[in-house]
Amino acid sequence: MIKFTSSEVRDLIIAFIVISLCFAIANAGRDMNAILHLLPMIMVGVGAGFILHELGHKFVSIKYGYWAEFKLWPQGLIFALVTSFFGFVFAAPGAVYTYANYMTDEINGKISIAGPIVNIILAIIFLAICVVIYPNALYSQTSILILNVCALGFNINSFLALFNLLPIGNLDGSKVLRWNVGIWIITIAIAGIMTYMSMTIGVENIIRLIIGY
C-alpha cells in the first residue's frame, strides 16, 4: 500500500500548480489571458504527467521494500519559473527520495526509469485519444476541447520523458545509463522522436500521418 505524509501531499500540490503555470507561460508567453485560457488544459497533461511520474518512482521503490517520499526543491521551482519566460521549462520542482542503506545500480535504474516510462505511456494514450476523436473535431466543440487537451498532454509528457532521461546531474537518465545503456538508448530515442515530432510537425500532422488523411 502506498502511503503519503502530509508534507509530501503539500509538496506535490505546490509543485503541480507551479509547474502547470510554468508550461502555460512557456506556451502563451506573457499574455495573461492566454495563460489563463491554457492553464486548465495544461493542468490535465501536467497533472497526469507529473504526479504519475513521481508515483512511478515511489511505487517501484516500495516494490523493492524501500521507503520513498516526494520532496519539493524550491530553487528548482524558481528556476522553472524563470526559464518558462524564455519558452522553455527546466522541470525539476522536486524528486522522490528513496531511503536505503544500499542499492544496486540495477534497482536504482529500474526505480529511475519508471517515471519516464509513465510519461511515454501517457503520451501514447493522449495521442491515441487524439486519433480517435479527430474525425469528430470538425463537428463538435467538445471534441475540439478534448483534442486540444490531449494534444497538450502528448506534447508535455513527451517532453517530460525526454528531459528526465537526459544523462546529466541527478536526473533519471544518469541512473538509467549506469544500469543499462541499451535500455537508456531505446527509451530516450522514443521520447526524443515524440518530442521532435511534436515540436516540428505538430500533433495534428502526426494524427494525419497515422490515419492517412
The residues annotated with a catalytic role in the active site are: 54
Backbone angles phi, psi at 31, to 5 degrees: -80, 105
Q: How many distinct helices (H) and strands (E) make up the chain?
A: 9, 2
Instruction: For residue 69, give the nearest of 10, 120, 125 by alpha carbon.
Output: 10
Q: Are 157 and 53 in contact (CB under 8 A)?
A: no
CA dist 35 and 104 (Å) reads 44
Q: Are 91 and 163 in contact (CB under 8 A)?
A: yes
Q: Are 45 and 149 in contact (CB under 8 A)?
A: yes
The three cell numbers locating residue 82: 524563470
Find cell 500521418 and name the residue.
209
Mapped onto helix, strand or coil, the DSSP state of residue 80 is helix
Q: Sign (positive/negative) of CA torsion 36, 137, 149, 90?
A: negative
